[in-house]
Amino acid sequence: MKINKILQHDFDEIIASNKILDKFKDSTFLITGATGLIGSLMIKFLMYLNDKMNFNIRVIGLIRNQDKANQIFKDYLSENNLKFLKHNLGSGEIKCDGRVDYIIHGASITQSKMMIEKPVEVIKISVDGTKEVLDLAVDKKVKSMVYISSMEAYGQPDVSGKVTENDLGYLDLTNPRSGYPESKRLCEVLCSSYVSEFGLSVSSARLAQTFGAGVLPTENRVFAQFARSVINGEDIVLHTQGNSEGNYIYTADLISALLTMLIYAEPGQAYNVTNEENHMTIKEMAELVVNNFGNGKSKVIIDIPKENMGYAPDVKMWLSNQKIRKLMGKVWKPSVNLVEMYRRLIDYLINKNVEDYEI
């Protein structure tokens, strides 16, 4: 199996810092959204655990597109403990043979343009798909499941300090763009309802924006655009004033958090998963990237188009991670700051094809 050296460094850091990983020996995981950023990195980390620690973890990756999966996991296709299950979420019952011990449900539409142009599809895949995964979890009697929600579920909270899990804010229900955050809220309620009605052990992770080494070639969210701009010596062009406040967490910190939640999270509860230190406006982050990695060749430009690009309204929000730190502080804490996040991301994007090696 080949692995990029930056990913290998990230994975070794998880192993060194997370003391509960041996609980997953000889387990079977189902990962939805397997070809997305979080799902693909989770699968690669679990395969790394097998190779380095002989954990004998079996992984089922739920996918829609086999060709995409073959490309993303081209160096993993010979792994006997990795299988793919093709299923379009929202289309009906998930047919999965064999035992499943843990589920991480990360499948979702995350492209802002899709949220504007196909709001019905966004809602259907989110809500119906989550119900299908929950039904499978009940049928398989899984030990634990984590549903990957989003900080967008907060809408526009009216708080002056850091936002806790109880601070849900206003959502404009006449705006089709609200279908994404509102469906995230409904999926969290579904999870809590399955806890109450069926005794399922499932919790929700409200993620800050997640990025780092391992981003996919098709990634076009703002963090990847910023990184590619400075790599190419180009200006960073903002299509808003950049006043929205962002909350961020590094990919490896998140992978470790999700695995720890499978063991420690209280069923039916939601947890902010963020690094409180990684908080700033979009414009401030653009300036951070230019100042640290632009080499004097890039600058930040604001160019606001007339047409609606599907961007969410400006959000003033600083996520608190105190609930999850209180729960898991002895076994998990985020450690990678924004400058280091971008350093590893940029190194990965530059070297992802030349530093792969066998383990």
Largest CA distance in the chain: 59
pLDDT at 336: 98
Residue 218 domain-assigned (yes or no): no
Per the structure, how many domains does the chain have?
1
Alpha helices in the chain (DSSP H): 5-17, 37-53, 66-72, 112-117, 119-140, 179-198, 222-231, 251-264, 282-293, 322-328, 338-351
d(CA 282, CA 288): 10
pLDDT at position 354: 44
Residue ranges making up the domain that contains 203: 2-211+249-276+314-335
At 62, which CATH number?
Answer: 3.40.50.720
In a domain, 236, yes or no: no
Residue type, 26: D
- What's the DSSP call for residue 310? -
Q: Is residue 177 part of a domain?
A: yes
Check whether 51 has a pLDDT greater than 80.
yes
Please name the helix (run of DSSP H) or strand (run of DSSP E) that holds residue 2, with its range, or none. Answer: strand 2-4
Predicted local distance difference test score (pLDDT) of residue 85? 98
Residue 172 inside a domain? The answer is yes
Confirm if 146 and 204 have CB atoms less than 8 A apart: yes
Q: What is the pTM of this model?
A: 0.93
Q: Report residue 205's pLDDT band, with 50, 70 and 90 as the boundaries.
A: very high
- The per-residue pLDDT for range 60-112, each reduced to its tens digit, is 999 999 999 999 999 999 999 999 999 999 999 999 999 999 999 999 888 88
Distance CA 289, CA 230 (A): 8
Q: Check: CB of residue 292 under 8 Å from CB of residue 342.
A: yes
Confidence (pLDDT) at 308: 57
Residue 289 falls inside a structural domain: no
* Residue 43 binned pLDDT confidence (cut-offs 50, 70, 90): very high
Pairing mode of beta strands 245-250, 209-211 = parallel
Do the domain assignments include residue 224?
Answer: no
Per the CB < 8 A criterion, the answer to whether 331 and 19 are in contact is yes
The pLDDT score that the predictor gives to residue 317 is 92
Give pLDDT, residue 274.
Answer: 98
**pLDDT at residue 279 greater than cutoff 60:** yes
Is the pLDDT at 307 greater than 80? The verdict is: no
Asked if residue 146 is part of any domain, the answer here is: yes
d(CA 212, CA 336): 10
Half-sphere exposure of 322 (CA within 13 A, CB side): 8
Length of the chain: 359
Percent of the chain whose pLDDT exceeds 70:
96
Task: Give the Cα separation of 357 and 359 in Å (integer).
Answer: 7
Question: Is 348 inside a domain boundary?
Answer: no
CA 350 to CA 82: how far, in whole Å?
Answer: 28
Which whole number is the average pLDDT over 286-313?
Answer: 86
pLDDT at 244 over 50: yes
Measure the CA–CA gap between 106 and 124, rounded to whole angstroms. Answer: 15
Name the residue with tokens 């609606």. 308
Question: 3-class SS at 280?
Answer: strand
Give the amino acid at 124: K
**Residue 357's pLDDT is what?**
45
pLDDT of 263 above 50: yes
The DSSP output letter for 163 is B
